[in-house]
Amino acid sequence: MRLGYYLLFLMVFFCSELKAQTLDTLTFTDFINIVKINHPVTVQAKLLADLAKARKTQALGGFDPKLDAEFDRKFYDGTEYYSFLTPQVKLPLWYGLELKGSYSQAEGSYLNPESKLPSEGLSYAGLSFQLGKGLLMDSRRAAFKQASIFEQSSQNEQVRILNDLFQDAAENFINWQNKYLTAQVYDNALGLARTRYEATRLGFLGGDKPAIDTVEAMVNVQQREVQWQQAQLELQQAKYMLSTFLWLTGNLPVDVEKLNIIPSNNIEVPLTAQTDIINNPKLLSYNFKISDLNIERRLKAESLKPELGVSLGLLNQGGSALRNINPTYWNENNKVNVRFSFPLTFSKARGDLAEAKIKIRQTELEQKVVENDLQNKLNQNNSELIVLQNQLNVLNRTYRASEQLLNGEEMKLRLGESSLFMVNSRESKLIEVKEKQLAVDAKLKKAQMKSLWLKGLLFELL
Q: What is the pLDDT of residue 22?
A: 59
| Pairing of β 261-263 and β 24-26 | parallel
For residues 75 and 109, give the distance between their C-alpha atoms in angstroms, rounded to a whole number.
10
For residues 133 and 226, give the distance between their C-alpha atoms in angstroms, rounded to a whole number.
79
> 40-60 vs 28-38: helix axis angle to the nearest 10?
40
Those residues whose C-beta lies under 8 Å from the C-beta of residue 419, and which sit 6 or more positions away, are: 213, 216, 413
User: DSSP secondary-structure letter at 84?
Assistant: E
Output the CA torsion sign for 131, 137, 143, 149: positive
Give me Rg for the CA atoms of the chain: 40
For residues 139 and 46, give the distance between their C-alpha atoms in angstroms, rounded to a whole number.
29
∠ CA 427-428-430, nearest 5°, is 65
- Are the C-beta atoms of residues 238 and 261 closer than 8 Å to each other? no
Number of residues that make up the chain: 462
Those residues whose C-beta lies under 8 Å from the C-beta of residue 264, and which sit 6 or more positions away, are: 25, 26, 27, 28, 177
Q: Greatest CA separation found in the chain?
A: 136
Q: Tell me the average confidence (pLDDT) per consecutive run of 10 residues in the chain, 462 residues long.
A: 37 41 82 92 91 91 90 86 88 88 85 81 88 88 92 94 95 96 95 89 81 87 95 96 92 87 89 90 95 94 90 85 78 88 86 94 97 96 97 96 92 85 90 96 96 93 88
Full DSSP string of 245-297? T-EETTTEEP-GGG--EEE-S-------S--SSTT-HHHHHHHHHHHHHHHHH
CATH topology of domain 2-38+141-291+357-461: Outer membrane efflux proteins (OEP) (1.20.1600)
Q: What is the pLDDT of residue 6?
A: 35
Which element (helix H / strand E) includes 354?
helix 347-414
Q: Is 99 left (phi over 0), alpha (psi -120 to 50) or beta?
A: beta
For residues 141 and 136, give the distance between their C-alpha atoms in angstroms, rounded to a whole number.
9
Q: Where are the beta strands (DSSP E) in 318-450?
A: 334-341
Read off φ and ψ for residue 126, nearest 5 degrees. -165, -175
For residues 446 and 443, give the distance between their C-alpha atoms in angstroms, rounded to a whole number.
5
Query: Which of 42, 43, 46, 288 lies closest to 147 in space, CA to CA?
Result: 288
- Are the C-beta atoms of residues 309 and 130 closer than 8 Å to each other? yes
Cβ of 106: how many Cβ atoms within 10 Å? 19
Query: Which of 238, 219, 230 lies closest to 186 in space, CA to CA?
Result: 230
Output the CA torsion sign for 358, 359, 365, 368: negative
Query: Which of 170, 164, 157 lies closest to 33 in space, CA to CA?
Result: 170
- Are the C-beta atoms of residues 114 and 284 closer than 8 Å to each other? no
Output the CA torsion sign for 176, 177, 183, 186: negative
For residues 422 and 413, give the distance between their C-alpha atoms in angstroms, rounded to a whole number.
9
Query: Which of 124, 137, 133 lies closest to 311 in space, CA to CA?
Result: 124
Residue 138: HSE in the Cβ half-sphere, 13 Å Cα cutoff: 19
Q: What is the pLDDT of residue 435?
A: 96
Boundaries of every domain in the chain: 2-38+141-291+357-461, 65-130+307-341
For residues 121 and 165, give the distance between their C-alpha atoms in angstroms, rounded to a whole number.
67
For residues 277 and 453, give the distance between their C-alpha atoms in angstroms, rounded to a whole number.
9
Q: What is the pLDDT of residue 460?
A: 87
For residues 259 and 160, give the distance between their C-alpha atoms in angstroms, rounded to a whole number.
30
> 281-302 vs 139-205: helix axis angle to the nearest 10?
160
In three-state secondary structure terms, 88 is strand
For residues 38 and 253, give the distance between their C-alpha atoms in angstroms, rounded to a whole number.
9
User: DSSP secondary-structure letter at 114?
Assistant: G
Report CA-CA distances (Å) from 309 to 154, 346, 460.
Answer: 37, 18, 51
